[in-house]
């Protein structure tokens, strides 16, 4: 091939490449939108966003047509707390049959709300927190008319350090593991008879508590008036004193988790109501359950969790010194319970059985109450929605013809 021919081919190729590039530039220029096109597209996008925003405002009830008539309500803290929580729970119950134990003597078949509680809790950045809870139900096993709201938990706390937190208000005393367990966490519908007889309800007082060693050891101490809930009265110048320590001693896959606890109490009372022991403030009169004297108590408890099985047990002992020596100058009472709960269907269906004994006076024979409770828990949605069914029956001289009582509960937590 000659040099001239080669040169001609190179020039031809160069012209072809230049032509292709020219067509490409023209095509690109043709595809790129003009300024008018861009404005039209932007206006279309804005129109679409305005329509979507108007539709959303209508769904929220805040469209312009209603803006002057009804604005949407917004719940917000009135103070400067960093967290505000509103909640509560309801225990709707139905009961049938004879008295399961002496707490139901004279109670007919019935429907009622055992608990209907509403609370507000909050936290401040300065390590203070609070809770105000009211109960709008019977809040008792005793049949009642004219039910009205009462204060339940109500306290102010300081929680900067996990090993030492303070609370002031209406609180549970630090005596009795079953008593301290939350109502929505109970595996049975009611606590044991011994718990109701030997422990105290909420009191106005001061609490110090905390946990150590990565939450494996905890303690609780409460000093209170000793005169029960919804009362600002102290019957004398002395306070009820309670203390509790608890700890996890085993926690592994092979042996499960074992927690042990111990507690103690002391009270010097002038006039408190303590039913079931035969106290009488007026000698020779009808038993009025008013106690004046000293009380000393101690208790131990254990909880073992292993796979689908939970086993709990507690023993309580109380010693009384009535000043008027009724029913005696001094006597002791005790009670215990042992419960096993097993998931037949994991996290859904749980079987429960509990054995309990309560003896209100160890110096008198034949007066103790022995009770069996059997039942099932069906977890519809954890503890938030739960159905409980219990059958309980006792062996006691107080109820010679008792055939047992069927208890049912629907629990709703919100």
Place of tokens 């709703």: 412
For 266-281, write each residue's pLDDT tens digit.
999 999 999 999 999 8
Burial level of 240, CB count in 10 A (0-12/13-18/19+)?
A: buried
What's the sign of the alpha-carbon dihedral 338, 344, 350, 353? negative
Q: Which residue has the higher pLDDT, 14 or 306?
A: 306
For 55-107, write each residue's pLDDT tens digit.
766 665 554 445 445 556 666 778 889 999 999 999 999 999 999 999 999 99
Helix (H, G, I), strand (E, B) or coil at 34: coil
What is the rounded distance in angstroms from the CA atom of residue 190 to the CA atom of residue 358? 15
Model pTM score? 0.81
Helix (H, G, I), strand (E, B) or coil at 145: coil
For 220-234, write each residue's pLDDT tens digit.
999 999 999 988 899
Rg of the Cα atoms in the chain: 35
DSSP state of 188: S
């Amino acid at each position: 091939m000659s040099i001239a021919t080669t040169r001609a081919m190179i020039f031809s190729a160069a012209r072809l490449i230049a032509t292709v590039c020219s067509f490409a530039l023209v095509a690109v220029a043709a595809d790129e939108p003009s300024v008018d096109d861009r404005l039209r597209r932007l206006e279309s996008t804005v129109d679409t966003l305005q329509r979507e925003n108007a539709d959303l405002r209508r769904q929220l009830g805040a469209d312009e047509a209603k803006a002057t008539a009804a604005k949407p309500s917004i719940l917000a803290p009135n103070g400067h707390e960093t967290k505000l929580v509103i909640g509560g729970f309801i225990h709707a119950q139905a009961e049938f049959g004879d008295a399961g134990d002496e707490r139901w003597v004279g109670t007919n078949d019935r429907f009622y709300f055992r608990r209907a509680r509403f609370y507000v809790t909050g936290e401040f950045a300065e390590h203070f927190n609070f809770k105000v809870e009211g109960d709008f139900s019977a809040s008792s096993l005793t049949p009642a008319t004219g039910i009205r709201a009462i204060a339940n938990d109500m306290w102010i706390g300081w929680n900067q350090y996990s090993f030492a937190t303070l609370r002031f208000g209406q609180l549970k005393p630090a005596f009795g593991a079953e008593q301290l367990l939350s109502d929505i966490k109970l595996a049975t519908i009611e606590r044991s008879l011994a718990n109701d007889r030997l422990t105290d309800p909420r009191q106005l007082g001061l609490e110090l508590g905390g946990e150590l060693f990565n939450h494996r050891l905890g303690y609780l101490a409460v000093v209170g008036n000793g005169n029960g809930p919804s009362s600002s009265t102290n019957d004398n110048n002395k306070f009820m004193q309670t203390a509790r320590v608890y700890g996890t001693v085993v926690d592994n896959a092979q042996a499960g988790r074992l927690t042990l606890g111990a507690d103690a109490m002391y009270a010097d009372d002038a006039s408190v109501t303590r039913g079931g022991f035969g106290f009488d403030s007026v000698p020779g009169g009808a038993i009025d359950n008013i106690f004046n004297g000293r009380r000393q108590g101690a208790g131990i408890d254990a909880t073992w969790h292993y796979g689908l099985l939970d086993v709990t047990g507690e023993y309580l002992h109380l010693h009384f010194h009535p000043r008027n020596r009724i029913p005696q100058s001094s006597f002791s009472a005790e009670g215990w319970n042992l419960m096993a709960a097993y998931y037949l269907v994991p996290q859904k269906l749980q079987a429960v059985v509990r054995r309990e004994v309560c003896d209100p006076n160890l110096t008198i024979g034949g007066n103790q109450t022995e009770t069996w409770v059997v039942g099932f828990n069906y977890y519809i949605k954890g503890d938030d929605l739960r159905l409980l069914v219990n059958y309980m029956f006792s062996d006691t001289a107080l109820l010679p013809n008792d055939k047992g009582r069927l208890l049912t509960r629907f629990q709703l937590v919100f």
